Amino acid sequence: MSARQLVLRQRAELLCALCCGGSSEGLESVLDLLLSWGMLFWEDYQNVRVPGRALCANTRVLLDLVYTKGDETCRLLLAAFKQVLPEAQRAGLSFGNCRTADLENTRDDTKELHGTAIQTLQTDRPGLVRRLRDRIEGALEVLLDTGSFTPSDCDEVQLPVYTPSQQARRLLDQVRSKGEPAAKVLLQYFQQTEDHPSPSNQESPPKECLSYQKKLRSTVSAQSHFLSTYGGTSSLSLEDIYTEGQLELAQGGSEAQPQTGALGLEDVVGLVGTLNQEADTVLVSGEAGSGKSTLLQRLHLLWARGAVLHDFFLLFPFSCRRLSSEQRELSLRELLFLHCCWPDGDQDRIFQFILDHPHLILFTFDGLDELMQSFSDSEQRHCCPTQCAPVPTLLFNLLQGSLMKGVRKVVTSRPEAVGPALKRYLRKEVLLKGFSPAGIDCFVRKHHRDPTVATRVLESLQSNTALLGLCHIPVFCWIVSKCYKELLGCGEGEGSPKTITDVYLMILQHFFQRRVSQRNTMGIGWVQEHQDTALHLGKLAMEGLGASCYVFTGTELQKCGVTEEDICMGFLIRSKDLSSSTNCKHYEFLHITMQCFFAALYIVLNNNLDRSTIPKLFQPQARQQQPGFHRACLGHCLTQQEGALMEANTAAETPNLQITATFVSGLLSQRHRSLLLLSCPGPTLDRKSKQVVTCLSKGMQKHFKSIPRPVEGEKKSMHAMPGFVWLIKCIHEMQDSRIARDTMAKLEVEHLKLTYCNIGPVECTALAYVLQHLRNPVGLQLDYNYVGDVGVEQLLPCLHVCHSVYLRHNNISDEGIRKLIEKGIQCERFQKIALFNNKLTDACTECFAHLLKMKQNFLSLRLGNNNITAAGAGQLAEGLRFNRSLQFLGLWGNKIGDKGAEAIANALKDSQTLVWLSLVDNGVGSAGACALAPLIKNSTLEELW
Ligand code: ADP
Instruction: Supply the CATH number for residue 302's domain.
Output: 3.40.50.300
DSSP string spanning 585-639?
Answer: -EEEESSHHHHHHHHHHHHHH-TT--TTHHHHHT-GGGSPP-TT--TTHHHHHHH
Indicate the pairing of strand 426-432 with strand 247-249. Answer: antiparallel
* pLDDT score recorded for residue 234: 57
Residue 73: inside a domain, yes or no? yes
* Shortest-distance atom of ligand 1 to CA 475: 12
The reported pLDDT for the residue numbered 260 is 47
**Together in a domain, 159 and 285:** no
Q: Assess contact for 749 and 716: CB atoms under 8 A.
A: yes
Nearest residue CA, atom 19 of ligand 1?
291
Domain boundary among 148, 170, 193: 193
Which range marks the domain in which residue 718 is found? 684-944
The phi and psi torsions of 281 (rounded to 5 degrees) equal -100, 125
Question: Are 274 and 409 members of one domain?
Answer: yes
Calpha distance 441→421 (Å, rounded): 39
Q: Model-level pTM? A: 0.73
φ, ψ (nearest 5 deg) of residue 781: -105, 110
pLDDT in tens, 278-303: 899 999 999 999 999 999 999 999 99
Q: Is 267 exposed, middle or buried (0-12, 13-18, 19+ CB in 10 A)?
A: middle
Dist CA 511 CA 774 (whole Å): 40
What average pLDDT does this structure show over 453-471?
Answer: 88
Work out whether strand 943-944 and strand 916-918 pair parallel, antiparallel, or are unpaired: parallel
d(CA 538, CA 599): 5
pLDDT of residue 173: 93
Distance 265 CA to ligand 1 centre (A): 14
Residue 443's beta-bridge partner residues? Answer: none
The predicted pLDDT at position 640 comes to: 45
Please give the share of the chain, as a percent, with pLDDT higher than 90.
48
| Ligand 1 pocket member 482 (CB < 6 A) | no
DSSP state of 867: B
- On whether residue 714 sits in a domain, the answer given is yes
Q: How do beta strands 572-574 and 314-319 pair?
A: unpaired
Residue 682 reports pLDDT greater than 60? yes
In this structure, are 172 and 303 located in the same domain?
Answer: no
Ligand 1 within 6 A of CB of 723 = no
The answer on pLDDT for 459 being more than 60 is yes
Answer yes or no: is pLDDT of 635 > 50.
no
Ligand 1 atom closest to the Cα of residue 446 is: 25
pLDDT of res. 637: 38
Whether residue 817 is contained in a domain is answered as yes
Q: In sequence order, what are the beta bridge partners of 586?
A: 553
- From 193, 221, 237, give the residue that closes a domain: 193
Q: In which band, very low, low, confident or very high, does the pLDDT at 119 lie, cut at 50, 70 and 90?
A: confident
- Antiparallel, parallel or unpaired: β 281-285 and 408-413: parallel
| In-domain check, residue 338 | yes
pLDDT in tens, 742-780: 998 888 889 999 998 989 999 999 999 999 999 889 999
Last-in-domain residue among 391, 418, 434: 434
| Probe target for ligand 1 pocket from 225, 226, 227, 414, with the most ligand atoms within 8 Å of CB | 227
Residues 885 and 803 both lie in one domain: yes
Q: Identify the weakest region by mean pLDDT among 124-138, 751-765, 810-824.
A: 124-138
Q: Band of the pLDDT at 521, cuts 50, 70, 90? A: low
Question: Dihedral angle at the C-alpha atoms of 6, 9, 15, 18, nearest 10 degrees?
Answer: -30
- Cβ(292) to ligand 1 under 6 A? yes
Q: What's the confidence (pLDDT) of residue 208?
A: 85
Residues 806 and 921 in one domain: yes
Q: Which residue, judged by its Cα, is nearest atom 6 of ligand 1?
A: 291
Report whether pLDDT(474) > 50: yes
Residues 311 and 171 in one domain: no
The half-sphere exposure of 614 on its side-chain side, counting CA atoms within 13 A, is: 29
pLDDT in tens, 819-868: 999 999 999 999 999 999 999 999 999 999 999 999 999 999 999 999 99
Cβ 661 vs Cβ 693: under 8 Å: no
Give the per-residue pLDDT at 103. Answer: 56
Indicate the number of domains in the chain.
Answer: 3
Let me know whether 284 and 430 are in one domain.
Answer: yes
| Closest protein CA for atom 23 of ligand 1 | 243
Assess if residue 633 is contained within a domain.
Answer: no
491 within some domain = no
CA distance 425 to 732: 38
Instruction: Calculate how far, in angstroms, residue 239's C-alpha sits from the geometric centre of ligand 1.
Output: 13
Q: Are 780 and 794 in contact (CB under 8 A)?
A: no
- Domain assignment of residue 430, yes or no: yes
- What is the model's pLDDT at position 639? 38
* Same-domain check for residues 282 and 375: yes
User: 3-state DSSP call for residue 553?
Assistant: strand
Residue range 18-38: mean pLDDT, rounded: 85
The reported pLDDT for the residue numbered 522 is: 61
Same domain for 9 and 121, yes or no, is: yes
Q: Where are the alpha helices (DSSP H) in 784-865?
A: 788-795, 814-826, 845-854
Ligand 1 within 6 A of CB of 293: yes
250: region left, alpha or beta (phi > 0 left; psi from -120 to 50 alpha): beta
CATH of the domain at 914: 3.80.10.10
Distance 620 CA to ligand 1 centre (A): 26
pLDDT at position 632 is 38
Segment 602-625 mean pLDDT: 81
Rounded distance between C-alpha atoms, residue 620 and residue 727, angstroms: 12
Pocket test of ligand 1: the residue of 246, 284, 294 to mutate, having most ligand atoms within 8 Å of its CB, is 294
Beta bridge partners of 706: none
Is residue 660 in a domain?
no
Q: Are residues 284 and 161 in the same domain?
A: no
pLDDT of residue 785: 93
